[in-house]
Structures are given as C-alpha cells and as structure tokens.
C-alpha cells in the first residue's frame, strides 16, 4: 500500500512516500511564496541536488511534489497513491483519533481559528482532493493522542462559559510523537503499553512533555496553543498571565505584537540573548557567558518541574523517554535534566548517555529506579501507519 504523508508548514511542504513501512522517497519545498524557494528531493535516502523553484502557494507546491515523485519514478501517476495522510495541528476536542477527511474536518472552526499559522494545511488538503478526488485523505491530528486527558487536567480555571462558548481548554500538541515514542518505549521495555507508565519528553525547538498512564495520555504541558508548558527555543512557556496586560500597557503593545513577543522573542533566545539553538547557547555557556548558562538552567528546571508533577500524577514512573532534536542529540541537556531529579531515584550511565545520539537506546545506570530511553521520533512513519489504518477501515 502506497501512502503519501504531507506536512504543510506556514511556508514549507514536507512529504514522504511510504510503501508499507518503508520510506521510498521524500521531499521538502521551502520558502513557499518567497524569493529563493527551493525543492529538495530524496530517493531511497539519496539526496538529489536541490532545485530553485518559483512557487506562489501550497497548491503549486503540491503540484511540484507530484511532478518530482513521477520524475523520480517513484510513481507513474498520482492515481498510484492508495491514501494520503495530512498532519493537522489542531483537531480540537472533536477529533480524538485520525479521521477520513470530509467537510467537517475542513470546516472545523477550532482548527481554523486556533492554529492561524497552520492554515496552509487546509490549502494542501484542498489541492490533494482536487488532484486525487478518489483517493482517501486522512487527517492525523497533533492533538488527538491527548484527548484522553480527564477534565481536571484540561480545564482552565476561567469562567466556565469560555470553555462552553469558545472551547478554551488544554489540548496539547506533538501528540503523534508522544504516541509513537510511548508505544515504542513499551516495545523496548518488553511490556504491553497497558502495563507501564511513562513520561515522554519531546524536546525540540518546540517542546512538550506528556504523562502516559497505561498507554493513555493523562496530562500534557502544552495548552490551548503550543505556547504553554516548558520553556522553548523562542516561546516563553508558562508565565504569570498578569505579565501580559502589564507589558501591553507599559510598552503600548497590540495583542498581535504581544503574541509575537511571547512566541518568537522569548524562551531560550529571550533569556540568553544568543540564539534559540541550544548548540550555540551551550557553546556560549561553556565560554562563561552568564545569561547563556541561566537560559539553560531555566530551560532544564522548567522540564524538571513537569517531570516531578507528572511523576506525582502517575504514582509510579517506569521510564523517561527523550525524543526530538534536543532529546535525541544533546547528552549535555539530558544530563542536566536528569541530574536535577534526586528524589526520583533516576541515574544516568554517563557513557551510554554520551554515545546515544540520534538512535534508540537505554541510557540509565544499573540500579536506577526509573529507566531512561532515547527514541528518535518518527512522526511521518506514525502518520503513515494511522493513515493506513483509517483508509483500510473505510474500505470495509
Ligand atoms: P527539532 O525541532 O526537533 O528539529 O529540534 C531542533 C532543535 O534541536 C534545534 O533548534 C537545537 O536547539 C536542538 N539541537 C539539535 N542538535 C542538538 C545538539 N547536538 N545539542 C543541543 N541541541 C541540539
């Protein structure tokens, strides 16, 4: 079964073609609607020379993608594709699982209003529906895995009518990643998911944690939007909400400017004044730059507090699972985070931590009460799996 996975960002299109579980080809169209757009393709993991392209919108990017797949002989035509899986950021509470795309998904107000930066996904879906009208199209939501959270975890203590009227509540994101690594952790621990409790740490430019009890998410750190939770590359994470009106008044900021300040100028970049890229911040901290060091400490501490809270919620934690850019590639931060958890009885094996880069592995020391794993996330693969499951069920 040939499944095409599509991930539309605000100015990019990423796609991967799977034949069953095997990745056959993939591509990236960058800077859509801007000068300097380019299209990079990979065929059976070999990278082709990127091509400069002119591409005004995501519909044109979808056409470029299809031309590329045919040119690379991965397909004879679009009709070879059995199903298309789209990553959709916000499904609201209506979508608790991947679903066949219909008008309801396309017009889902929460998806449209709460993820304004992610509207490109709808253009991408419409373009695919036009190009492949008979091929099942499946939406895989970043929020779906977290929809098992109980009301006490997702309700904000605001006047209740805002939940009723505007559906303001915690939703959580990176769900496909949390789901994949929690399932994979169970396999590596040789236990069925329903027998274990894990805390998953998706630490990338955007970061979130999830408490997963017996295979079901019971809490997660992001909220109504991906701004909440732990400190991130450029996002502030949790702050005192009173800071927002205070700063808006003091600095004469509009809501849009305030939103940009919290989302794009804060976090590790804001504190360090160096970069949102942890590699640069670590390098500066090692050279003795105090604010770079402080940014790392604020970042690690915000994560430690969530681990502590989720451990309390779970009652028993079998494993911590690190994933995404920082989680997979930074022994430095993994050590910093785990060392600050003395009450948990968790100990790292320094050598295993150092050697486990961008690959799966256990990194805890013998005698550690909680196991620690690194699992590279595979969101595209997971979207392909979900797409196949939903498309097959729809055929029956
Ligand atoms: P992601 O959003 O998952 O692609 O993660 C990207 C982020 O991972 C970058 O912005 C870096 O901050 C971080 N990162 C990648 N490699 C390393 C590394 N070797 N050490 C520390 N941070 C890293």
| Residue 355 maps to a domain | yes
Residue-wise pLDDT tens digits, 276-285: 999 999 999 9
Domain that holds residue 225: 191-379
> Is the pLDDT reported for residue 202 higher than 70?
yes
**pTM summary value:** 0.95
> Is the pLDDT reported for residue 17 higher than 90?
yes
| Residue 175 maps to a domain | no
Mean pLDDT of 369-385: 97
> Is the pLDDT reported for residue 115 higher than 80?
no
| Residue 386 maps to a domain | no
The SS3 of residue 4 is strand
- Do both 213 and 360 map to the same domain? yes
State the number of CA atoms in the 13 A half-sphere of 279 facing the CB: 3
Question: How many whole angstroms separate alpha carbon 69 and alpha carbon 60?
Answer: 14
- Do both 102 and 213 map to the same domain? no
| Residue 180 maps to a domain | no
Q: Is the CB of 278 under 6 A from ligand 1?
A: yes
| Residue 164 maps to a domain | no
Nearest atom of ligand 1 to the alpha carbon of 324: 3
- Do both 30 and 96 map to the same domain? yes
The whole-number pLDDT of residue 111 equals: 67
Measured in angstroms, how far is the CA atom of residue 327 from the centroid of ligand 1? 8
The whole-number pLDDT of residue 104 equals: 81
Band (pLDDT 50/70/90 cuts) for residue 106 is confident
Measured in angstroms, how far is the CA atom of residue 350 from the centroid of ligand 1? 20
- Do both 91 and 208 map to the same domain? no
Quote the number of domains for the chain.
Answer: 2
The whole-number pLDDT of residue 116 equals: 61
- Do both 119 and 195 map to the same domain? no
> Is the pLDDT reported for residue 315 higher than 90?
yes
Contact yes or no for 224/214 (Cβ under 8 A): no
CATH code for the domain of 243: 3.30.420.40
Q: Is the CB of 221 under 6 A from ligand 1?
A: no
- Do both 129 and 231 map to the same domain? no
The whole-number pLDDT of residue 112 equals: 67
Measured in angstroms, how far is the CA atom of residue 284 from the centroid of ligand 1? 15
Residue ranges in the chain assigned as alpha helix (H):
58-71, 103-106, 109-114, 120-131, 151-154, 160-166, 175-188, 243-251, 255-264, 267-272, 278-286, 290-314, 324-329, 331-339, 350-355, 379-395
- Given 124, 141, 158, which residue is the final one in a domain? 141
Average pLDDT across the chain, whole number: 95
What percentage of the chain has pLDDT greater than the value 70? 98
| Residue 147 maps to a domain | no
- Do both 219 and 341 map to the same domain? yes
Active site residues: 142
| Residue 163 maps to a domain | no
> Is the pLDDT reported for residue 396 higher than 80?
no
For 196, the token pair is 């274990």
- Do both 134 and 206 map to the same domain? no
């Amino acid at each position: 079964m040939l499944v095409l996975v599509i991930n539309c960002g605000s100015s990019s299109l990423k796609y991967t073609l799977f034949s069953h579980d095997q990745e056959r080809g993939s591509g990236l169209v960058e800077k859509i609607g801007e000068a300097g757009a380019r299209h990079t393709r990979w065929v059976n993991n070999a990278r082709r020379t990127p091509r400069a392209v002119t591409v005004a919108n995501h519909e044109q990017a979808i056409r470029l993608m299809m031309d590329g797949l045919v040119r690379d002989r991965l397909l004879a035509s679009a009709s070879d594709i059995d199903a298309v899986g789209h990553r959709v950021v916000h499904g609201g509470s209506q979508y608790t699982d991947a679903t066949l795309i219909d008008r309801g998904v396309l017009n889902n107000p929460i998806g449209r209003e709460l993820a304004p930066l992610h509207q490109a996904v709808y253009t991408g879906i419409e373009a695919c529906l036009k190009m492949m009208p008979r091929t099942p199209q499946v939406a895989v939501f970043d929020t779906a895995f977290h929809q098992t959270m109980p009301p006490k975890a997702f309700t904000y203590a605001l006047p209740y009518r805002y939940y009723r009227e505007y559906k303001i509540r915690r939703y959580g994101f990176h769900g496909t990643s949390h789901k994949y690594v929690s399932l994979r952790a169970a396999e590596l621990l040789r236990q069925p998911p329903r027998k274990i409790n894990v805390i998953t740490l998706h630490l990338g430019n955007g970061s979130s944690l999830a408490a997963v009890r017996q295979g079901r998410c019971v809490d997660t750190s992001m909220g109504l939007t991906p701004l909440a939770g732990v400190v991130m590359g450029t996002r502030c994470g949790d702050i005192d909400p009173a800071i927002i009106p205070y700063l808006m008044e003091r600095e004469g900021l509009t809501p849009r400017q305030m939103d940009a300040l919290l989302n794009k100028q804060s976090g590790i970049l804001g504190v360090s004044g160096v970069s949102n890229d942890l590699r640069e911040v670590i390098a500066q901290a090692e050279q003795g730059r105090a604010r770079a060091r402080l940014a790392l400490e604020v970042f690690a501490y915000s994560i430690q507090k969530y681990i502590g809270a989720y451990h309390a919620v779970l009652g028993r934690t079998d494993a911590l699972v690190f994933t995404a850019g920082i989680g997979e590639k930074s022994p430095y931060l993994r050590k910093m985070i785990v060392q600050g958890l003395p009450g948990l009885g968790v100990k790292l094996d320094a050598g295993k931590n150092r050697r486990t880069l961008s690959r799966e592995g256990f990194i805890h020391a013998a005698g550690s009460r909680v196991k620690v794993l690194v699992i590279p996330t595979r969101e595209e693969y997971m979207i392909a799996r979900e797409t196949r499951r939903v498309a097959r069920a729809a055929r029956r």
